[in-house]
Structure 1
């Protein structure tokens, strides 16, 4: 009989040990305080829901990422959330049902059936913010600014903002008139940025359509990309120009506030295409291949809850942010206290803890290794002194 290593965890599922947990929790508090200062209210959705509400509206990718089980009380299928965004959309549409603009934020664990990228966790701790009830570019700009402020909190001031708009792809595909099966093949090739596969999928199409669709692969880079897009689409697909103009307006608004920010445009960016309806964006930092945070506009997801609403938002993974944050930036030494219950010592320890200090009772005569100071009684007064090594 094979032996079982009971300490092993599933691939892609990791525990967060004390030093890293300190970073994660400090970041969680700082980010939720940041979002609150911008007017975003905290919500805490449940870890699981009926799949009928959990999986509707955000496409097949989320469906494949979701663990399922049978509810023993109702017999219905439950899903463990792989993304908190649809839960927050349900809260806005059904549980709150407010008029006007609603700003919500959240932080919580999620679970994926498989990693979304080679090095991604299957148990990310998702934190993010969503803005409902405003369909203007100003709302997209606000959410992008908040995403960038999130990375500022981690100390990542050198970053690249990636901007795209699904309206460009939608207009080009509508003009091409592809059937469902071919469109799926084209979408897959574009998503992988595979020119050979894309050309193969379009081999028997009109040369003008082939040039138009394959041309999307070249529309990435600095702001000159937008001029190239206008030249490409002006006559063939004028419907795409509104999306190009929107990208330029959003970039200009962000640059006014962050003139040193690098902005990269990618008009073939199809992340979240199946539910995004407008601007899509992501933030990258040096030496980190994957986007640290991403989001976009996803209007009308609340329609499945009988209340369609404009919506835009972003999310990031606290575990990914943790890897960029030095523990020494937040960790302080602790204070060792004798294991006594004298009133004076108890009162002094209480004062220090209330002031944010870590005070650890010295059990078995040995101070905790984290301690760099100690409480010593001098003339009936408990004073702090350096801990002698």
Structure 2
């Protein structure tokens, strides 16, 4: 096997792409700071128990494991940064009120999320802890939209859902546990025959309610509005009605009035995402990308495993995918060239140019003569930056 081959679903970032990704990362972290989100950097490696989230077996399956040669304990490479944020908030920060964290770091997946997905996603996101009201959900969604806007992306499609509805419909039916994964997969793919088979061992009321979810997607209001249809066909329990009311308040909030370019839909069967989510969830789609570019939602109570249960909501995105779709913030330009065989005055001029933000590279004389970009030249005894020579001079 050639030594230059990489594992499947991994890739190098060449200089131009890496620079664009890094510039976007800086813009996003600066943006999140303006909203009060503090940057933190958790370790890539933790004990398996620290990264295991109750009910999130999908996260467990995506995680690489290895044995720690120092302790003999099982270690895991993180597949998602959100559980680490919950640990830091619950155990290390210890704030009683609202806390906000943001991050930009790689995760490692044992299995890719999709055919075109990387096994080393560069995950960027924000997490808000300590507030259970819809204000927190709306702030997180606003930040997600601001992230796309920072990348120059418009005409965003936002899809809303609430995993609490699925939990409410399945409540009290012991048969759900054995087929939950199959139910979620069938609902996500809108595969009614597959859903019917998965529901065979469930109670009639549970089966009927889950079968209704498949068709509950589309516009928020109007003749075909999802919410009105859901209120007619789903069980009228307090939990279901409360979830539908929450979705309505989010979809009709002032946030989306301020973003008229956003198309808002609701899909009650779209439960894709990590299974630790337990409330309102959202996905953001843009043209040119086959999957959701941003995913987020509620995961109240995750911090209990780390000693303190907290309300929590957040979002994350894959930075390389966002960068590939973004509008470049700077046109690529050649650095200024300087000859290696220079005097002290040249080095002083180079230092001055770099202090002003100009990139300067030293070149051998043969390469300096052929350089097509700007260069350092001596004019009237002083070294100065001269523009690139015109083609007629070459």
TM class, shorter-length: over 0.9
Determine the structure 2 residue equivalent to 1:90: 87
Query: Which whole-Å CA distance do the structure 1 matches of 2:42 and 2:179 have between them?
Result: 38
8 Å Cα contact 2:64-2:110 kept in structure 1 = yes
Which residue of 3, 25, 39 corresponds with 2:36? 39
8 Å Cα contact 1:94-1:307 kept in structure 2 = yes
1:174-189 correspondence to structure 2 within 5 Å: 174=171, 178-189=175-186
Q: CA deviation at 1:144?
A: 0.6
Q: What 5-or-longer segments of structure 1 have no aligned partner?
A: none
1:151 equivalent in alignment to 2:148: yes
Determine the structure 1 residue equivalent to 2:118: 121
Q: CA deviation at 1:215?
A: 1.1
Q: Does the residue aligned with 1:213 lie in a helix, a strand or coil?
A: helix
* CA deviation map 1:162-189 (0-9, x unaligned): 1100111112222766442244443332
Query: Which whole-Å CA distance do the structure 2 matches of 1:153 and 1:39 have between them?
Result: 17
1:60 equivalent in alignment to 2:60: no
1:136 equivalent in alignment to 2:133: yes
1:248 equivalent in alignment to 2:245: no
Q: CA deviation at 1:191?
A: 3.0
Cα distance change, pair 330–60 in 1 and its aligned pair in 2 (3 A): farther
Cα distance change, pair 206–107 in 1 and its aligned pair in 2 (3 A): closer
Cα distance change, pair 355–246 in 1 and its aligned pair in 2 (3 A): same
Determine the structure 1 residue equivalent to 2:286: 285
Query: Which whole-Å CA distance do the structure 2 matches of 1:162 and 1:359 have between them?
Result: 47
Q: Does the residue aligned with 1:30 lie in a helix, a strand or coil?
A: helix
Q: CA deviation at 1:213?
A: 1.6
Determine the structure 1 residue equivalent to 2:314: 313
Determine the structure 1 residue equivalent to 2:14: 17
TM, length-normalised to structure 2: 0.92
* CA deviation map 1:67-87 (0-9, x unaligned): 111111111111111111111
**Higher mean C-alpha displacement, 65-74 vs 53-62:** 53-62
Query: Which whole-Å CA distance do the structure 2 matches of 1:197 and 1:369 have between them?
Result: 66
Cα distance change, pair 237–300 in 1 and its aligned pair in 2 (3 A): same
8 Å Cα contact 2:151-2:327 kept in structure 1 = no
Q: Does the residue aligned with 1:119 lie in a helix, a strand or coil?
A: coil
TM, length-normalised to structure 1: 0.93
1:189-204 correspondence to structure 2 within 5 Å: 189-203=186-200
Q: What 5-or-longer segments of structure 2 have no aligned partner?
A: none
RMSD: 2.1
